[in-house]
Chains A and B, each alone.
Chain A
Amino acid sequence: MNARATTPIVSIDDVGVHFPVSRGRTLKAVDGVSLDVMPRETFGIIGESGSGKTTLGRAVVCLEKPSAGRILHAGIDPYGLSSRELRRHRRGYQVIFQDPNAALDPRMTILKSIREPMDVAGELTVPERHNRAIEMMERVGLSPDFASRYPHELSGGQKQRVCIARVLTLRPELIVCDEAVSALDVSIQADILNLFAELQAEFGLTYIFITHNLGVVAHVSDRIAVMYLGRIVEIGRAEDVVGTPGHPYTEALLSAEPVALPAHLRGQNRVMLQGELPSPIAPPSGCRFRTRCRFVQPICAQTEPPWRETTPGHASACHFAGELPMMSGAELHPLKAGQPGRTVETGL
C-alpha cells in the first residue's frame, strides 16, 4: 500500500499523439508531453481549443494510442497487455464527456444505461448488477424513480449524474472528466462539482479534470498543467499556477477570465492576447507561443525552451521563466481598490 502511494497512477512519458492529414503532413495534437498523476489527486488540464487537452485525456484512458512515448497505469503498460487483459484493465480508467446527451443512448432507460458497463463486463449476477446500479443512482443523487425513464425526460444536470453513476459501477480508480461540467448552468455545475468532491473522498478516486474554465479548474485541482498547441507550457500546484504564473500564456489566460466582481475591485490590469492560434500542423519554431508572446526574444524562435523550475514543483517551459515582469494572479484580479491599471497588448 505504501509503495502504491508513491507510484503515479498515471505516468505520461514523452507522449505524442499524431494524426495524418492530407498531403503526407502530420498533425501533432499532443507532442512530447510528460507528467505524473498521483493516486487520489485531482489533476487539472487547462487549455483552449486545439491545445490537445482532449486528445491527451483520451490517450490516458486508451481511447487514442500514443504515436510516441508511453503511458503507464500504476506502473503497467496497458499496450503490453493481451487484448483480454486490456479490456479488464481499462475498466479502472474511465472517462466522462461534456455532452451527456451524446453519451447516453436515447432508446435505453436510465437503469439500462447505468447497468450497461456491468453487462458488458459480465462479472456480476443480474440481481447484483441491478442492485449496484440502483445504489449508484442513489449515490449520485438520483431518485430510483428515474430508473425506468429515458434520457429525454431528464435535465442536463440529471443526465450528467447518470453518466457519473454508470462509470462508478465499475469501481474505477481514475476518471478523466473532459469538460464534464462545461455545458451545465452555474448552479447545477456547483452541484456536480460538489458531487465529484464527495465521490473522491468516498471512493478514493483520482481525477484528471480537463476544461477551458479556469475558475473550475482552480477550484477543484491539486495541480494544474497548462497546454498550448499540443504541449504543456506550465505545470505546478494550483495555487502557484494561478497565483504566480510562470509562463506568459498562463498570464494571458488568467487575464482573459471574466470575474464577477464590481469594477472598483476588479483588476484594471489586463494582458490582451492578439492574433490567432497558429496552425497546429505547422507550429512556430522554438517556443510555440512566441508569435503571441509579449516578451518574445530572438532566442525564442531558435531553440525550444527548456523546463525551468521557479519554485519546487512549479515549472514553466519558457526561456525566461521567473525573470519576466509578469503580473501575478493578485495583480490581475486584486480584491483591493485603488491600484493603477495597465493594459498590455501582445503579439501584434
Chain B
Amino acid sequence: MADMTSPVPSAPLLDVRDLGIAFRSGAGMVQVTRDVTFAIAPGETVGLVGESGCGKTVTGLALMGLLPSATSHITGSVQLEGENLIGMPARQLQRRRGAKISMIFQEPMSALDPVFTIGQQISETLRAHRSVSAKEARERGIEALARVGIPEPALRFDAYPHQLSGGMRQRAMIAIAIVCEPRLLIADEPTTALDVTVQAQIVDVLGDLCARLGMAMLFITHDLGLVAQTCSRLVTMYAGEVIEQGRIDDMLVRPRHPYTSGLLRSLPALAARKTKLPAIPGRVPMRGEMPDGCRFRPRCDFALPPCEAPQPLDPVPPVGQVRCCRNDELELKGVLS
C-alpha cells in the first residue's frame, strides 16, 4: 500500500501512511488502529468520522505526538511538510507543536488551566515559539482573541477561564491554538459540549480562520451534518481502520462503504417523520476480538464469503478510496435515496 497514489493532487501538507497505534495492555499489546492512510492538502478541511471506539481521537493524538511513549507503540509515518513526526526527538517535536500543528479538544474547561488567565496561556504558547517581548505577546494575544470573535478582547485577555461561558472558553482555546498561525489545526469534537446556536458560531469562526490564514483543518466528529457544513473531504473510520474517503458531497450522495451508508441513513433529520430509522445492527467490535477480513462484516447486510479476506483500500475515481470488495457492484443508499 506504500505506493498507493495519494488522493490529494498537490503536495500534501500532511501525509499519514499506514499509521498503526498499539497500546500496552496487561502482558501484551492491543492494536487500536492499523493502516490509517490519508492526506491533507494545504488549506484543506477534512472530516474524520466514525462511532465511539473507532480510533478517531487516538489518531488525532498520534498526529500531535501526544500519546505516551511508554505505553503506546506507533508504526507508519506522519509527514508534516515533508518531515516525519513519528520517532522525531521530543525537543524537535515540541518546536512544531503549537507552531505548525495545533489541536483543540471537546472540553475547553479541562483543556484550559484554571489558575492562569487566558492571556497568560496565549502568551505562553506565543513565547515558546516566537521571540516576542511581553508587550508584543499581549498585543498579538489580544489580536488572536479578536480574531476568534471574543468581544472586548483586551478585557478578556486578563480573565480567568471560569469567568467565561462555555462558548467563549472554546473561542479562547481556539485563540491559543491559532496564535502562532499553524499550518494544520486538529479539532477533536470542538463543539460537542456546546449548544447548537453556539456551535454554529464556533463552526463559523473555524471556517473563517481556515480561509483567512490558509490553515488546514482535520475535524474529528461523529456528526455528519457538521462535516457536511465544514469540510470538503471526508474520511470514515471503523474499528481502527480507514474504510472510506472521498469528496464529502460525493460520499453523502453515493457512499461506497456499507458503514458510511449506514451512518448516513440512521440520521433522523433526513428520514420521513415517525418512520422506522434504518439502524446498523450490532456494535463496534471490542479490541482484541476483531473479526478477520472486513471488520464491518458481522454488522453488514451485504457480507459474502469474499469479505472474510483482508480488504485493501480500493481507489474510487476521481479521488476516493474504499475498503470494501463489493464496492463496484453495490448501489448503496446515501442521504438522498
Contacts and interface: CB of A to CB of B under 8 A. Distances in A.
B168 A276 contact: yes
Interface residues of B, number: 47
Contacts of A220: 268, 274
B263 A187 contact: yes
A191 interface: yes
Interface stretch (A65-73, A143-151, A259-267): A259-267
Interface centre among B204, B227, B274, B281 (most CB of A within 10 A): B274
Contacts of A258: 199-200, 203, 223, 225-226, 228-229
A215 B267 contact: yes
B91 interface: no
Contacts of B227: 260
A256 interface: yes
A260 B252 contact: yes
Given A193-B268, A219-B271, A262-B228, A255 B200 contact: yes
A210 B283 CA distance: 26
A260 B274 contact: no
A102 B314 CA distance: 43
B276 A194 contact: yes
B274 A219 contact: yes
A155 interface: yes
The A interface, classified by DSSP as helix, strand, loop or mixed, is helix
Nearest to B253: A262
A253 interface: yes
B249 interface: yes
Interface string A187-217: 1111101100100000000000000101110
A262 B195 contact: no
A215 B276 CA distance: 14
Interface string B171-211: 00000000000000000000000011111110110000000
Nearest to A186: B266
Given A194-B279, A272-B200, A186 B269 contact: no
Nearest to B166: A49
A276 B167 contact: yes
Nearest to A254: B196
A260 B267 contact: yes
Interface centre among A215, A256, A258, A264 (most CB of B within 10 A): A258
Given A194-B277, A261-B335, A49 B266 contact: no
Contacts of B69: none
B269 A218 contact: yes
A277 B198 CA distance: 10
B278 interface: yes
B61 interface: no
Interface in B31-45: none
Nearest to B269: A215
Contacts of A263: 228, 249
Given A48-B197, A263-B249, A276-B165, A187 B269 contact: no
Interface centre among A158, A190, A214 (most CB of B within 10 A): A190
Contact of A186 (B200, B204, B222, B335): B222
Given A185-B52, A255-B200, A276-B165, A260 B264 contact: yes
A216 B268 CA distance: 6
Interface in A234-286: 238-239, 252-253, 255-266, 270, 272-274, 276-277
Given A193-B268, A218-B273, A239-B273, A212 B196 contact: yes
Contacts of B143: none
25 contacts: A48-B198, A156-B52, A157-B283, A185-B51, A185-B52, A185-B222, A187-B51, A187-B279, A188-B283, A190-B266, A190-B267, A190-B268, A191-B277, A219-B268, A219-B273, A252-B197, A257-B196, A257-B269, A258-B225, A258-B226, A260-B270, A261-B252, A266-B229, A273-B201, A276-B168
Identify the 9 closest CB pairs spanning chains A and B, nearest first: A215-B269, A258-B225, A190-B266, A190-B277, A262-B249, A219-B268, A187-B280, A48-B195, A190-B279
Given A48-B197, A260-B335, 15 more contacts: A49-B195, A156-B52, A186-B224, A189-B266, A190-B268, A194-B277, A218-B269, A253-B196, A256-B199, A258-B229, A261-B252, A263-B249, A264-B249, A272-B201, A276-B167
